[in-house]
Structure 1
Amino acid sequence: MSEGAFESVPGCVDELLVQMRARSEEGFRSALASLAAVAQAGGRASLTAAVEGLAPLLPTLHGSFAGAAVLAGACVEWGGSPVALAGVLPPRVAVALRMFAMVPSLWAQEVPDGFPPAPRVASTDELVRICTAAGARGGFDAAAMEAVALSWFDTEDWLKAAVTTLAHRDFRDAADPAELRELSEATEEVAELASVPAEFGLGGVARRARWVQQLAAVLDDEPLVVLDRDTGRGFALTMSGIGDNFQLHTLLADRLIGSRLRGLLPGERPASSWVAAATRGNPRTAADDPVFRRFRLFDGHGGYVAPEGVPADVRPFDGVRVLVLDPPGEPFGWTVGRVFEGLAPALRLERRLSREEAAAWLGRVAPPGGTA
């Protein structure tokens, strides 16, 4: 290949392919660095071209070659479009998570009462040998078990790419909702590894799996009916890109507390620093300026809506997600305004419900089922 080819994104992608086919990890790393430099130098168009060049490669990559997924995510973070990844990344990450979750049980079949070494120190050859031996007894071929073993080392790379891309609305819009649901389900077993002792080195992958679970469940253009039990008022809103219910609490207070002449709710508005942390500012408030909730939230079925959850946890009621506001009770505060700094939230007040509409909704919803 001519030297000039390395000055173009397609030339760099071709060289990456050559190095992967040769199974040269050193050559792969060099080609990946060249692609990153060329893509960044060319701005958004080159970054998007790099993403588009990498996307078709991702479904078949394993082990250290999954670094291509990290670069694809980085190109998105630097300004490239993530759309080309929407059809390939969610199912590939789900597969990685499913395989990763198999490794401890395969290891235990060969090493009773044992647990695989942390990915950062484990021997690739040893893990492949053990997974292949255990899998053979279950009728799995060696190639499939090698992919399972390599997932122990590459899953965190796949998760890094997923965290970056899922924060982008155009990626979520282009992704198949069924594949996002499958991805969310695939995270559960790996996310639960957060309870494994720290010496096993799984904290990073478990934490990122939980982030991917939350991001895959983000709602966009989702109608929301909010009812205030004390005043009898009701509101129709639309929410998008809200990462968790802590953030939702702050945005609800910002949108709904205000002038009674405008039909809004009485109460103390959230501090501007809280709203900034929940939207576009520093995602954390100062330790001496924690966010405090202005209400407790219940769904239309009477279930308590925990701040630690996500908006998708709010069960639809009569076909729409409904929140019923009760007084805040004991002070309850936090300092993380938003979990995902790159996720752009929106909570739009569409209209105030008429008194009759609000009364009809309040007449149907269940009373609160808890006092948290």
Structure 2
Amino acid sequence: MPSEISQLVDELVAQMKSGSIAGYRRALSRLGESARAGGPASSTATVEALAPWLPGLAGDFAKTAVLAGACVEWGGSPMALADVLPRRAAEAMMLNDLVPGCWAEAAPGLPLPEQVSGSTRELVQALATLAGPEGRPDEEDMTRIAMSWFDMEDWLGALITVLGHARFRAAVPAEVKAELRTYAAAVADRSQRAAWVRDLAAVLDDEPLVVLHPPARRGYLLTMSGVGDNFQLHTLLADRLVGDADQGLVPGERPARSWVVAATDGDPYLGPGNPALRRFRLFDGHGAYVHPEGVPADIEPLDGTRVLVLHPPNGNYGMGVGRVFQDMIPTLGLDRVLAPDEAERWLTRVAPAVESDLMASRPGSRT
């Protein structure tokens, strides 16, 4: 570790142990400036030095996680955070979900304090009254619950940054991803970041995908990674599969190049004047409609494999954003066109489409 980074981290830790918020903020700023100026190596060293401290931090000191996320944006490796940040973010959401009920018990009839640091003392003092005289929850437990009302967004912001990296997602255990989805769903109604974490924790990587085109009795095997939502998947599928029918591809109108770039690694924002239009509707192997607003993990597997069946688009359904997660670069590879007999076996196994979606029979637009 560069000596300057080591010294600045030691100073940051000293300020946290002293409880000096002003000193902490100054030390955090100096560390951030040095990490950024030193390039990826210094950013990685900073992440590695901060990671062990994250589980014990709360309140204002959660800004340490924000700096760790910033270091990843500056080119640092996120891997040192894989064992600590997802678990700490899951805990923050779990505790945040408890706050309204605890407050209602501690201060019945009063509105919850604003989620700003100036309200910290009021909430901490109120929830401390719920601490048991012996055993758990004790005052420290209640303080940690109270602090989650103010620091959850910091943990989630950092986590969103690192979950965009495929290696990081692969390093997070499945049970931790499940916890993230569960706790994020519980607070997503009041936190957009929690909703994003819920979807990022469900991202599929190296996932086989069978796509069927009934009119031509054809099928395709693809592999997808890092696809953030189903509308993005629509665009990428059209780019990979629409083409010359004599070459075994799906006949139709190809997506505009700008749509594909927005769905892959370019500026994701297309705007209302150039929305990406879906080239087909998707149904799964059980006949259920695949909502564009959902995520690929929602696609119910058929005999262990996710299957999509292509149907005509029936109108213009558009999206002004090519992908939701700007820093997550997707891959969707066409591995092969299925042999006719293999495609036929899949086609005979899928259930008829239940065409009950709102866009099944009338044109519309969503931008």
TM-score range, shorter chain: over 0.9
The one of 274, 284, 297 aligned to 1:299? 284
Distance 1:306 1:6 in 2: 49
**What SS is found at the alignment partner of 2:28?**
helix
**Separation of aligned partners in 1, 2:33 and 2:232:** 37
Is 2:61 the partner of 1:76? no
Tell me: CA distance 1:14–1:139, structure 2 relative to 1, closer, same or farther (3 Å). Answer: closer
Unaligned 5+ residue runs, structure 1? 194-205
Following the alignment from structure 2 to structure 1, what is the Cα–Cα distance between the partners of residues 53 and 327?
Answer: 26
Query: Aligned pair 1:329/2:351, yes or no?
Result: no
Summarize deviations over 1:39-84 as a string: whole Å, max 9, x none.
1121111110000000000000010000100000000011000000
Deviating beyond 6 angstroms after TM superposition, the runs of 4 or more aligned structure 1 residues are none
Letter in 1 for 2:14: V
1:42 to 19, 24, 38: 38
Cα distance in 2, alignment partners of residues 115 and 177 from structure 1: 37
Q: How far off is 1:126 after superposition? A: 1.1
Matched, 1:224 2:204: no
* Alignment-derived partner of residue 88 in structure 1: 84
> For 1:48, what is the secondary structure of its paired residue?
helix
> Which amino acid in structure 2 is aligned with residue 49 of structure 1?
A
Match status 1:312 vs 2:297: yes
1:329-352: per-residue Cα shift (whole Å, max 9, x none)? 232111111001100111000000
Other-structure match for 2:157 = 160
Q: Is the 8 Å Cα contact of residues 62 and 150 (structure 1) preserved in structure 2?
A: yes
Q: 1:135 Cα deviation (Å)? A: 4.3
SS class of match (2:211): strand
- Say which is worse superposed, 133-142 or 209-218, in terms of deviation: 133-142
Distance 1:261 1:370 in 2: 29
Counterpart residue type for residue 270 of structure 1: P
- Render the CA deviation track for 1:230-249: whole Å, top value 9, x for unaligned: 21110000000000001000
Q: Which residue of structure 1 aligns with residue 226 of structure 2?
A: 241
**Counterpart contact for 1:6–1:34, Cα < 8 Å:** no
Q: Give the aligned residue type for 1:76.
A: V
**TM-score of the two chains, using structure 2 as the length reference:** 0.94
Q: Structure 1 residue 16: deviation in Å?
A: 1.1
What is the deviation of 1:6?
9.8
Asked whether 1:256 is paired with 2:246, we answer no
Equivalent residue for 1:281? 266
Partner residue of 1:110? 106
1:111 Cα deviation from its structure 2 partner: 2.5
Match of 1:65 in 2: 61
Amino acid at match of 2:69: G
State the TM-score, normalized to the length of structure 1: 0.93
1:15 shift after superposition: 1.0
The aligned runs of 1:158-237 (5 Å cut-off) are 158-193=155-190, 206-237=191-222
Match of 2:146 in 1: 149
Residue 347 of structure 2, aligned match among 346, 350, 362? 362
Q: Which runs of 5+ in 2 are unaligned?
A: 358-367
Deviation readout 1:205-233 (Å, 9 max, x if unpaired): x1000011111111111100001122111
User: How far, CA to CA, are the matches of 2:188 and 2:38 in structure 1?
Assistant: 37
The residue type equivalent to 1:216 in the other structure is A
Task: Name whichever of 243-252 and 134-143 sits farther off.
Answer: 134-143
Residue identity matched to 1:294? R
The residue identity in structure 1 corresponding to 2:189 is E
Give the corresponding residue for 1:200.
Answer: none
What is the one-letter code of the residue matched to 2:166?
R
CA contact (8 A) 2:230 2:296 kept: yes
CA distance in 2: counterparts of 1:365 and 1:259, whole angstroms: 25
TM-superposition CA deviations, 1:19-55 (whole Å, max 9, x none):
1111111111111111111111211111100000000
Letter in 2 for 1:25: I
Distance 2:215 2:278 in 1: 16
Q: Distance in 2 between matches of 1:360 and 1:125?
A: 65
Is the Cα–Cα contact under 8 Å of residues 2 and 45 in structure 2 kept in the other structure?
no
**Distance in 2, Cα, partners of 1:6 & 1:45:** 9
How far residue 112 of structure 1 moved from its aligned partner, in angstroms, is 2.3
AA aligned opposite 1:266: P
CA change 1:6–1:275 in 2 (3 A) is closer
Please tell me the root mean square deviation across aligned C-alpha atoms, in Å: 1.6
The answer for the alignment partner of 1:32 in structure 2 is 28
Give, in whole Å, the separation in 2 of the partners of 1:241 and 1:165.
Answer: 13
Q: Which residue of 2 aligns with 1:202?
A: none
Shift of 1:176: 1.3
Distance between the aligned counterparts of 2:299 and 2:318, measured in 1? 21
Q: Are the equivalent residues in 2 in contact too, given 1:106–1:135 (CA < 8 A)?
A: no
Q: Percent identity?
A: 54
Give me the whole-angstrom Cα distance separating, in 2, the residues matched to 1:302 and 1:136: 53
